[in-house]
Structure 1
């Protein structure tokens, strides 16, 4: 009796899991490379049991992702709100960044609007990587004076501090306004 019930259960299970109850593979689909079943080919997406064509705009490629638009813009193009891919316009003295969707300015140039403008480097200054504020700093022994670098006047019994942009009194001397005097 138990053997008969077990045999009936196995037969019923085989019937349910057989090809008669599995979903047939639609057109534009392929067997999965792992596990059972199938998936839509690149350029198609599952929609109500069939693989429908994904509309890929010009300058884009199909991604075969099950989320999002199913396509991405080619390198050097960016997606707009109209779901099209437009070329990234790179100004003179600029370059395309690794993402392929943005541009940056070459060294010695700064992004101003949609252009790369040359950085005016004053005498006794060096470039920094700052993307805001001054794009340069004064060399050691010089201080910024708006658009340039002026020599730091070091009074008697003083020296440049570690930063090189200010002076401080030597040991045993005390600062008073613009000079150093001996501690008593």
Structure 2
């Protein structure tokens, strides 16, 4: 009997193995492939985009390894549909805790949740004191402001706050209330000026008129006059000069300059 050498069968065995491997690769490549960028056939729990083609995971699901995997939503939360972050947010009246849970926002007695849903505010008649809402002690001659901070009250017209009370504003004769929250509580009537807490009449010299500016003597000289002490002295214009914008001083005409009180031709 003639023995056949087995070495000649080895190339045939390798060829058969390679053919099987190639067939397997072709079969796998023919199966659906889910891309990581929302292209290709949409997986379960996904929907096609309304523009530019492709698909996105449904709300409540997130793309993971080519599949749309359901999010683990904590209690009192909702899915945002965002592809970044946790993918969920807490409902109104709750706040996120360590990106794992939604805890109820503490609202003390006599308070309500703000419209934003992230903070609270005391009811009218109460003011915030640390984590509580305490009753506002309203002094005489005061009213509630409704402001969530501060004392929560303000004094009536004619009164001003002094610590925790409202005291009358002493308005001198010929004065009036300013109704201003800042600065002076009263001011003098037109024609009067404040001197040592009084409103004294403004002495207007000849050739002058009352001035409403908050500074100065309370009067101004007429045009063509200049103030000198408590009087208005008529201006003497040199040749080639004119009154300035206010009319209470003079300056040289264009092309001239002042020299020893005169306007001489410039060089």
Partner of 1:172: 191
**Aligned residue pairs, count:** 166
Question: Residues 139 and 87 (structure 1 numbering): CA distance in 2 closer, same or farther, change over 3 Å?
Answer: same
Partner of 2:123: 106
TM-score using structure 1 length:
0.76
- Segments of 5+ residues of structure 1 without an aligned counterpart are 1-19
- Give me the whole-angstrom Cα distance separating, in 1, the residues matched to 2:53 and 2:189: 81
Matched, 1:89 2:106: yes
For residues 135-171 of structure 1, the C-alpha deviation after alignment (integer angstroms, 9 at most, x for no partner) is: 3222211111111111112223322235397222333
For residues 57-100 of structure 1, the C-alpha deviation after alignment (integer angstroms, 9 at most, x for no partner) is: 11112222222211111222111125210011211111112232
1:130 CA drift (Å): 4.3
SS at match of 1:92: coil
Q: Are 2:125 and 2:135, in contact at CA under 8 Å, matched by a contact in 1?
A: yes
Structure with bigger RCO (C-alpha 8 Å, 6+ apart): 1
Partner of 2:177: 160
1:33 CA drift (Å): 4.3
Question: Residues 156 and 102 (structure 1 numbering): CA distance in 2 closer, same or farther, change over 3 Å?
Answer: closer
1:37 CA drift (Å): 2.6
Partner of 1:44: 61
- Segments of 5+ residues of structure 2 without an aligned counterpart are 1-31, 34-38, 204-267
Which of residues 18, 23, 30 in structure 1 aligns to 2:40? 23
1:175 CA drift (Å): 1.9
Q: Are 1:140 and 1:163, in contact at CA under 8 Å, matched by a contact in 2?
A: no
- Give me the whole-angstrom Cα distance separating, in 2, the residues matched to 1:23 and 1:59: 35
- Give me the whole-angstrom Cα distance separating, in 1, the residues matched to 2:143 and 2:125: 10
Partner of 2:26: none
Q: Are 1:90 and 1:103, in contact at CA under 8 Å, matched by a contact in 2?
A: yes
Q: Are 2:126 and 2:152, in contact at CA under 8 Å, matched by a contact in 1?
A: no
Return the index of the structure with the highest Cα Rg: 2
1:126 CA drift (Å): 2.4
- Give me the whole-angstrom Cα distance separating, in 1, the residues matched to 2:189 and 2:80: 68
Partner of 1:183: 202
- Give me the whole-angstrom Cα distance separating, in 1, the residues matched to 2:102 and 2:86: 12
1:45 CA drift (Å): 0.5
- Give me the whole-angstrom Cα distance separating, in 1, the residues matched to 2:179 and 2:45: 70
Q: Are 2:122 and 2:148, in contact at CA under 8 Å, matched by a contact in 1?
A: no
Q: Are 1:137 and 1:144, in contact at CA under 8 Å, matched by a contact in 2?
A: yes
- Give me the whole-angstrom Cα distance separating, in 2, the residues matched to 1:170 and 1:36: 77
SS at match of 2:75: coil
1:177 CA drift (Å): 1.6
* RMSD of aligned residue pairs (Cα, Å): 2.6
Question: Residues 180 and 25 (structure 1 numbering): CA distance in 2 closer, same or farther, change over 3 Å?
Answer: closer
Partner of 1:74: 91
Partner of 2:143: 126
1:48 CA drift (Å): 2.3
